[in-house]
Structures are given as structure tokens and as C-alpha cells.
A and B are shown apart, each in its own frame.
Chain A
Amino acid sequence: DSGVTQTPKHLITATGQRVTLRCSPRSGDLSVYWYQQSLDQGLQFLIQYYNGEERAKGNILERFSAQQFPDLHSELNLSSLELGDSALYFCASSVEDSSNEKLFFGSGTQLSVL
């Protein structure tokens, strides 16, 4: 158990819909990262927050947004869903915002868009 909690574990929805994925980092970790993993794909970095502020953006679509709340949990909002958004979404956390930080991953949310 990494200490990072993601909910829900599975999500099935239809095209055009909007969903919210939730992540609680390890106790004491200030950084939260979101990654997307599609079939046969690696881990695509989406966005990072540190202590409530956005720190880095990766290949995140405009239809996607995220935030980190004062209690440090984070939510990833996916809207106007398309079939191609079906993927495994991981949240990871680290103590600080340093390039030497190792990441602790949650178990992921499997999103299926039908």
C-alpha cells in the first residue's frame, strides 16, 4: 500500500459526460501528480500541484482540469468525454517539489467511456 488513495477504482460513463477523479496523497506529501496510461502506452504526465498551486503542465487537454484543495487532496475533472479518453488515470504524490523526489502512485482509476 503506497498510502495514496484514489477513488473511484472504476468509472464507466458515456461520451459527452463529465467525471471527477479524486486523489488523497500520502500523509505529509505536498505534491500531487496526475498521469494517464492508455493501452500499450506509457505514463503520460498531465499536471502537477504543489501545496495548492499548479506547478507544471504536461499533455493535458483543455477539456481536462485539476485542482488541489487546502487539505492537499486533488481532483481531476474530465469533461466532454470522448472514446479516446478511456484510460487508467494515476495519481502520484511526493513530499516536495524537487526533481529528485520519488513518486508514490495510487492504484488508479480505470475510466471507460462508451
Chain B
Amino acid sequence: GQQVMQIPQYQHVQEGEDFTTYCNSSTTLSNIQWYKQRPGGHPVFLIQLVKSGEVKKQKRLTFQFGEAKKNSSLHITATQTTDVGTYFCAGNQYGNKLVFGAGTILRVKS
């Protein structure tokens, strides 16, 4: 079945450092979504990427969708303590349901 792998599982950075999480699918995706879950909270939708090679930015966050539509990344520039949480990618093969990656836990040391 469809699988979405996400790395790293955990990252601890110094405030001000950059952070990147990667998402890889075993199959071509129709779209990919990113969610953020704060500690003790629930997942919150961040963004959706649909087009091959698409790049979207939200302030310090940059999202990319690979040319083959099998991988994606989320890059945070100059992390802040408010960025802590778990970042999930979620992708779906055409016609199928969203499959979530295992998530990357981000901790920021001030």
C-alpha cells in the first residue's frame, strides 16, 4: 500500500538555526499537505502543494513539492521557540485517502 516516510524523526535545534523535514512517498502523489501539531494540541493544516516542482512560502516557512511528485520538504529559516511541535506531511495517491507521515518532532533551544 501507499507509504509516506518522513525524516528525521526528531530534531533539536538552537534558536535561530534552520530546520528541514523531508517527506518521501513510494508512489506518485496527487497532492501533499503539511500539518503542525503543537505539544498537547491537535494537528493544524499549514499548506497544500499540488503542482510538480511547486514552491510556496509562509513567512519563514518554505514548502517544496518534488518534480516527480514523490517527495516534499518543509524548511524553516531562523527557528523560533514558537516553532516547536510535530510537523506532519500527508499525501495521497490519486483517488485514495490521505496518508500521514510519522512526523518530525522539532524542539528549539533558546
Is A49 at the interface (CB under 8 A from chain B)?
no
**Within the complex, what minimum Cβ distance (angstroms) separates A49 from chain B?**
12
B59 within 8 A of partner (CB): no
A90 proximity list for chain B (CB < 8 A): 42-43
Do residues B44 and A99 form an inter-chain contact, with CB atoms below 8 A?
Answer: no
The tally of residues in B whose CB lies under 8 Å from a CB in A reads: 25
User: Which positions 38-85 of chain A face chain B at CB distance < 8 Å?
Assistant: 41-45, 48, 56, 58
**A44–B99 CA distance with the chains assembled, in angstroms:** 8
Residues in A with CB closer than 8 Å to B30 are: 99-100
B21 near A: Cβ within 8 Å? no
Q: Are B42 and A99 in contact (CB under 8 A)?
A: no
A99 touching B98, Cβ below 8 Å:
yes
- The answer for the CA separation of A42 and B30 in the assembled complex, in Å, is 21
Interface contact B102-A100, CB-CB below 8 Å: no
**Which residues, 61 to 104 on B, are CB-close (under 8 Å) to A?**
88, 90, 92, 94-103
What 6 A-B pairs have minimum CB-CB distances, sorted nearest first?
A: A42-B102, A43-B100, A105-B42, A102-B45, A99-B92, A105-B43
Task: Give B7 Cβ to nearest chain A Cβ, in Å.
Answer: 13
Shortest CB–CB separation between residue A53 and chain B, in angstroms?
A: 15
21 residue pairs from A and B, CB less than 8 Å apart: A2-B42, A35-B100, A42-B103, A43-B43, A43-B103, A45-B97, A45-B98, A45-B99, A45-B100, A56-B97, A90-B42, A99-B96, A99-B97, A100-B48, A102-B45, A102-B48, A103-B43, A105-B42, A106-B42, A107-B42, A108-B42
Is B31 part of the contact surface with A, judged by Cβ < 8 Å?
A: yes
In the assembled complex, which residues on chain A have CB atoms less than 8 Å from the CB atom of B97? 45, 48, 56, 58, 99
Question: Once the chains bind, are B33 and A102 in contact (CB under 8 Å)?
Answer: yes
Within 8 A of B (CB), among A89-104: 90, 92, 99-100, 102-104
Contacting pair B95 A99 (CB below 8 A): yes
Closest B residue to A110 using CB positions:
B40
* A102 to B35 CA separation, bound complex (whole angstroms): 10
Question: How far apart are the CA atoms of A69 and B94 in the complex, in Å?
Answer: 28
The reply to whether A105 and B44 form a contact with Cβ atoms under 8 Å apart is yes
On chain A, the residues within 8 Å of B101 by CB distance are 42
